[in-house]
A and B are shown apart, each in its own frame.
Chain A
Amino acid sequence: MSVFELKAGESAEIVKINSSGGAAARLNSLGITAGKRVTVLAFSLFKSGVLIGCGAVRVGIRKSLAAGIEVER
């Protein structure tokens, strides 16, 4: 399942990130990589994106990009 399918407050471990180019590099430098545990903190208006917490870092990610972050509960 993707991180976007989690409910607010749920945590899961990243297993794979299907993304390339600049966005993938940015996720990587934010510490959002396979093996890390992430928590869904909130959703934006019209559920256009999701706010995920990874350690102390909090990142807002658009739905299309979040759909490529595969997680396992």
Chain B
Amino acid sequence: MNLNAVKSAVEAKSFKRIVLAGNPNAGKTTLFNALTGSNLRTGNFHGVTTAPSRKTVDGITFVDSPGLYAMNAYSMEEVSAAEEIKTADIIINVVDGLTLENSLNLTKKLISTGKPVVLYVTKLNQLKRRGGRLDGEKLSRILGAPVFYGSAKKFRKQLLSGVNFNIGKSAMPLNDAYSAGREGLTRADKLFYNRFFALAFFIAAIAAMFFTAFHPLMPGSILKDLTESLVVDKFGGFLASKMRSDAVISLVTEGILSGAGGVFSFIPQLAILYLFLTLLDESGVTSALAFATDGLFEKVNLSGRAAFSLVSGFGCTAAAILTTRGYSTPGAQKRTIAVLPYIPCGAKLPVFLTFLSPLFENPFPVITCFYFAGLALSLGFSFAMRGGKEGMLSEVTPVILPAFATVGKKLYFYLKGFIIKVAVTVTLFCVVSWFLSHFSFGLEYVGVENSMLAAISGVILPVFYPMGVSDWRIAYAVLCGFIAKENVAATVAMLMPAGTGLDLAASMGICAFMLTCPACVSAFTASCKEAGVKFTLKCFVVQTVIAFIIAFTVRLLFCL
């Protein structure tokens, strides 16, 4: 490294581009979020970040890159990380304190690029807990590069006030600066790495998640009813009493409060769903699960990595599609993208509840069946499809008790995102729907039955007849699901305030359709980006046809 050149570059503050690089799951995105005030997705899993992100703060561009082990790439995402490193003025090498010894292989390669390198060591609390230690100053002298750790805020300050790269190298064994502590398995590791326990635990955790969310005596349902009565009845009633015009009252109470507001009431149940998913992720259980269940995924030509994609799919299909970039075989990646829509995303939860709650006193068993059916369908279709086989060669993280602050923060940002989406997109959508459903083509204020929406939707209604649906409002609601699945529940709540009036067979049919139909526009876009437009369109058509066939069959079975 040319020390003089580096030193003058820093003194002149000519560095404009700082790239965060390091092994997978070192904590790059967590640091990036802290340095730039962003909220990018983090997780205790190898390969959460699959594409670089950039953000400029105070004239300096920070770049978060996917994890990499070496400059010559093995998986698709590593290529983009290596590209980013080439453009860096300064590299922040984020180093996992638990596997520091091995991580230094990459550190040495980064230093040998000739660019100034700063080390930031993470997970020192965990290292201390298992009896290890780090002497940052000594490590810095061994490598000839500055070493930082601890508070990200403090690190940011030090970084911006200028870093001294002029460090005299001195030869000493790494043992003087670092000891790894106990590297063996903890009791929790042993349990979760056990294939039978891991699978049983996963099934039990998912069942517990649905039980807490959907059982009428559990917090999910109780809070949902409470929110609904507050938003729709109390607040709606209050507003209606203050307004005169019938049309305005209808727009506010039916259109906005019943529609978009009705979707708000699902927040407690979504919070429970997402809390469970976050706990699985942050504790490292998903990582252990991905290894333990690899045998299952091998049978459908995937690898345990797919477990991570599928579990992400319970949250959001579009986000789950992005996780597939960590695959090493394009065929396996495409196959996973094709089957991900069968994993019901968080936004499908209100849909199932809307159609099934009126029919079941306790909707927990039937909704759980739909979720597991979705899981089975996705594995089944992956088995039936051709394409390359995915191998397994991936690190597994230790199992830990997740930090309360991390889980709370993730939950908070997820719910905030949901609320913003409902407040903006779904509300806007509801206003448009309300207008279309209350005015005729002559722009007269009419009843719902004579509205232009009734006329338009009547055209597509016939394809839903075999499902037992003869009401155009449901056909319209289902169609709206392609924009965002949240719209389905909102539309039903708005247009059918007295309930759907469907019998059991038709409700099961429509839920089967919602389970198997293609995902929303954002998932479609993500799929186009990852797998190409042609492939995505093909999937869309095939999935729509299959969804109709499955829905007709399910309805027929329940009619018997």
Chain A residues with a Cβ under 8 A of chain B? 22-23, 25-31, 41-49, 51, 53, 55-62, 64-65
Contact A30 B195 (CB under 8 A): no
Give CA–CA (A16, B209) in the complex, Å: 46
Give CA–CA (A57, B99) in the complex, Å: 6
Instruction: Point out the residue from A31, A45, A62 that lies within 8 Å of B393, measured CB to CB.
Output: A62
* Residues of chain B within 8 A of A29, CB atoms compared: 69-70, 105-106
Interface assignment of B391: CB less than 8 Å from any CB of chain A: yes
List of 6 A-B pairs having minimum Cβ-Cβ separation, nearest first: A46-B295, A45-B295, A48-B295, A29-B69, A42-B193, A60-B291
Interface assignment of B553: CB less than 8 Å from any CB of chain A: no
- Distance in angstroms from A43 CB to nearest chain B CB is 7
Interface assignment of B416: CB less than 8 Å from any CB of chain A: no
Interface assignment of B199: CB less than 8 Å from any CB of chain A: yes
Contact A65 B393 (CB under 8 A): yes
Contact A65 B391 (CB under 8 A): yes
Interface assignment of B519: CB less than 8 Å from any CB of chain A: no
Give CA–CA (A47, B101) in the complex, Å: 30
* Residues of chain A within 8 A of B296, CB atoms compared: 45-46
Contact B195 A44 (CB under 8 A): yes
Chain B residues with a Cβ under 8 A of chain A? 69-70, 72-74, 98-102, 105-106, 180, 183-185, 189, 193-195, 199, 290-296, 298-299, 303-304, 328, 391-398
* Residues of chain A within 8 A of B396, CB atoms compared: 51, 58-60
Contact A64 B391 (CB under 8 A): yes
Contact B193 A51 (CB under 8 A): yes
* Residues of chain B within 8 A of A47, CB atoms compared: 295
What are 18 residue pairs bridging A and B, where the CB atoms are less than 8 Å apart in the complex?
Answer: A22-B73, A26-B74, A29-B105, A30-B102, A31-B102, A41-B185, A42-B292, A44-B195, A44-B294, A45-B296, A49-B294, A53-B185, A56-B99, A56-B102, A57-B395, A60-B291, A60-B393, A60-B396
Contact B183 A55 (CB under 8 A): yes
Contact A49 B392 (CB under 8 A): yes
* Residues of chain B within 8 A of A31, CB atoms compared: 101-102, 105
Contact A55 B391 (CB under 8 A): no
* Residues of chain B within 8 A of A46, CB atoms compared: 295-296, 298-299
Give CA–CA (A23, B398) in the complex, Å: 23
Given contacts A29-B69, A30-B102, A59-B396, contact A44 B180 (CB under 8 A): no
* Residues of chain B within 8 A of A55, CB atoms compared: 99, 101-102, 180, 183
* Residues of chain B within 8 A of A48, CB atoms compared: 294-295, 298, 392
